[in-house]
Structure 1
């Protein structure tokens, strides 16, 4: 069989799945995304109580900044996790790596739920909290890119955008569940009981959820694209070195896409509730409810954006999402700053709609830039580096910008600037919607 015929056969194998197998892959990825990100974001929704229990300080703003600094610490490990899990995913397969990272995240989340407080063990408490967040960050680095690649390499070419966006969108649901769970607990319990032990419940739930995710992931087959690369003996022993040598430009594009994706997601899922409570002075119940509504809007907008990218191409939808986000950021914050439940829903909902449109094609667009043999490594490294810089800093930087400027919409100005900068990069990115997930170099020497 010549090289072209080999590539065609491999591409057909990678892109043609029976419906039952594809449903299992989609279920595995969607539920895996949910479990992984529930464990990661529940920290943000417990920021206020963690600030009191682990960082006692007479200045509540300083304590909150310390809590968000530890939140950002979890992102420090993401570039390292991208190197480790990206390389493993390209050498031993996607499925095995995804099974390991979800178990790792669950263990770290349970550990946070069992930690002693500052009052009980002093400085050891925040140190242990930092260690748990480092483990969570390492695990998270392998999840999103790996899960999206797993779906993309199973999906039919004409629906890759929709299927990746659908499973990727489940990352928006854990913040809703975490927010509503915290809302229920804080209203169902006395303040003393919640501060004593109730805050631990959302973290302890993360363990059983991780085991469910592990069970589901172990019941699906390895990606056909990776299997085709294995069969052609084209799995590289040094995917990171190959990616850095051959795909620097594509990795730069991937970094840019992830930069705004992470800033938008962690502004909505990791910062906005604290912004509404601490800066706008909205009551916590209204803040959590409004944020949950906004994230559900983002969930739907992501699916729509992914589906549109299958019809129109990735670039037009990415550009539309960035333009909408740049135009919506300042009005969204202005609405939210009015301090009512309705204005909080309207402001966050507007931002969620714009960001969700962009997030829809992001997951698949950055994967299509790379061949199978280096896809996990190249995308995980660039994606997680951007998430560390722009996502991990979002809550801390938002709080700091307001503190320094006295301007409640300062974070929106920053978001607008990042959206415009990324838009300029996207104009240079090639259209990838019609590319095969199996490239020529994946099946021929």
Structure 2
């Protein structure tokens, strides 16, 4: 018997955990996502402050570039961390990894808040800050896919994409809180006080948030599928090699998942980072750009949940083709609107772009996770999600800056993203992972 013989064994009529337990599972996953994305986005939100506090002050541009190196480093390490923590979710359990990632991420965030400055400890300051950023990257590497898997494996109904939409929605709440807390402190405190010690507050808030998240996650049960899988493996003395099995036997499904999510991965990084830069370059000012960013995070949860409901009702292919089709039509006009000189037009374009990006998030989450059998799900989902995020998402900002420098217009990057979205449409039409539509066809109706 091999690991491939281990499959879902729950009876078809098994109602799963009761309603209260399912709500607790959902709360633990969503709250963890909020904390993780708050922590991870906070570094980028306060990158200017970090550059002044922890890097040499002789050249502000060099300091800022050094701080942004931490952003790149965290993303570059995510696939490597996923290769370790993804299999750990298959061997030690989903809940174990969810607690571990939350602790590691929060140590990194709180560490930045407690770190002595460059003026106090010299060159050790940037080294230690980058180490904290590495911890954040490790924590973020498998949080999202493992949390989604945790929800899916506890659920026995026909709401898979709706629950995925809630998971996507929670990832907007974290950056919203990070940006909002930073904005309120910056506006409420004297500039001297914020620069001296106030900037530490958002990072230190990670401590109580993490304690709440860990407490909740410690008091939810491991997923039924993992318990059954582990018991069957132990009973039959199966040697579990989830990473090797995922790469050898499921590489095709991983490539399809990466291709399907390619356009949305680029879009996510445009929202998280490049829109602010593009609006500032267009002359709208930093405050207007930051408020536009806040608005995108505020509206983000609604299309995510709506897209999930539609995917459960009509199948995941429908919202994916509609969403990516709108991206093909509207991405270039979005960047032209930012460069139009009209703040109203620019904000409308940014909000519409965010709506589309989150609208396709739920069926993509289902594809990232449920395209694989339980025994390799942690490994395969972490690998495909992080490879796509790093290769396509984290490079989007660099490509955007390069194309702007070559052409003098942000529309050039719009054409680049349009081409990526066409690839995702082709995957949705001709190579859709079966799991995205499978649940709608086979699950019993639910009132």
TM-score normalised over the length of structure 2 = 0.89
Counterpart contact for 1:368–1:435, Cα < 8 Å: no
Deviation at 1:221, TM superposition (A): 0.8
In 2: Cα distance, 1:69 partner to 1:8 partner: 43
Counterpart contact for 1:77–1:137, Cα < 8 Å: yes
Deviation at 1:15, TM superposition (A): 6.1
TM-score normalised over the length of structure 1 = 0.90
Match of 2:371 in 1: 369
Write the mapping of 1:178-257 to structure 2, written as runs, cut at 5 A.
Answer: 178-233=178-233, 237-257=240-260
Match of 1:101 in 2: 101
Counterparts in 2 of 1:193 and 1:341: CA distance versus 1, 3 Å: farther
Which of 409, 413, 417 is 2:419 aligned to? 417
Counterpart contact for 1:44–1:271, Cα < 8 Å: no
In 1: Cα distance, 2:313 partner to 2:211 partner: 37
In 2: Cα distance, 1:119 partner to 1:330 partner: 45
Deviations 1:208-237 (A, max 9, x none): 211111111111111112122223337752
Counterpart contact for 1:57–1:63, Cα < 8 Å: yes
Counterpart contact for 1:313–1:431, Cα < 8 Å: no
In 1: Cα distance, 2:56 partner to 2:339 partner: 28
Deviations 1:167-222 (A, max 9, x none): 23100111111111111111112222222222221111112211111111111111
Write the mapping of 1:39-438 to structure 2, written as runs, cut at 5 A.
Answer: 39-55=39-55, 63-233=63-233, 237-277=240-280, 279-339=281-341, 341-427=343-429, 428-433=431-436, 435=438
In 1: Cα distance, 2:411 partner to 2:121 partner: 39
Partner SS for 2:283: coil
Deviations 1:315-340 (A, max 9, x none): 22212221222222222222233455
Deviation at 1:281, TM superposition (A): 3.1
Counterparts in 2 of 1:109 and 1:11: CA distance versus 1, 3 Å: farther
Counterpart contact for 1:76–1:134, Cα < 8 Å: no
Counterpart contact for 1:305–1:360, Cα < 8 Å: yes
In 2: Cα distance, 1:375 partner to 1:414 partner: 32
Counterparts in 2 of 1:283 and 1:389: CA distance versus 1, 3 Å: same
Deviations 1:298-354 (A, max 9, x none): 211111111111111112221222122222222222223345553342121011011
Counterparts in 2 of 1:263 and 1:13: CA distance versus 1, 3 Å: farther
Partner SS for 1:158: coil
In 2: Cα distance, 1:287 partner to 1:180 partner: 13
Counterparts in 2 of 1:284 and 1:433: CA distance versus 1, 3 Å: same
Task: Give the RMSD, CA atoms, in angstroms.
Answer: 2.5
Match of 2:445 in 1: none
Deviation at 1:411, TM superposition (A): 3.2
With 256-265 and 36-45 compared, the bigger mean Cα shift is at 256-265
Ranges in structure 2 where 5+ consecutive residues have no aligned partner = 1-5, 441-447
Deviation at 1:267, TM superposition (A): 1.7
In 1: Cα distance, 2:314 partner to 2:59 partner: 51
